Structure 1
Amino acid sequence: YERALRTTISRLEKYRTDLKVLRSQTEDVDIPKAASRMALSQNLLEVSAKASRNILQNVQNVLFH
């Protein structure tokens, strides 16, 4: 459960970094590449968030039922 949360947080940080790359005004930024990486990060983040919610739900079920 703790590992899943850490993974989610690290993916959030990576996603934030990708956003910065995308917003950067420098000429050498590969916008399509940054955009596709950002989309991939977002997908991973959604999957990870769902997994974290499921883990939390399972823990709650075990503890309280």
Structure 2
Amino acid sequence: MTDLRVRRTDRAIQDAFVKLVLARGFDSVTVSKIASEAMINRQTFYKHYTDKYDLAEKNESAGD
């Protein structure tokens, strides 16, 4: 089972990503903006995802 802190951070990243994409569009969203919105460090983002494309792919497959 995954640590609760890891799951919360992952959820914060995903929520921030969706919010930013809906507000600004995918092309204008950066890892820095996602990290800022999720209130995490960029390095924390990279512990969970390779880049925003990896996040988008995993977020899309989670919805299936």
Higher relative CO (CA 8 A, sep ≥ 6), structure 1 or 2? 1
Give the helix-richer structure, 1 or 2: 1
TM range, smaller chain: 0.3 to 0.5
- TM-score w.r.t. length of structure 2: 0.40
- TM-score w.r.t. length of structure 1: 0.40
Q: Greater CA radius of gyration, 1 or 2?
A: 1
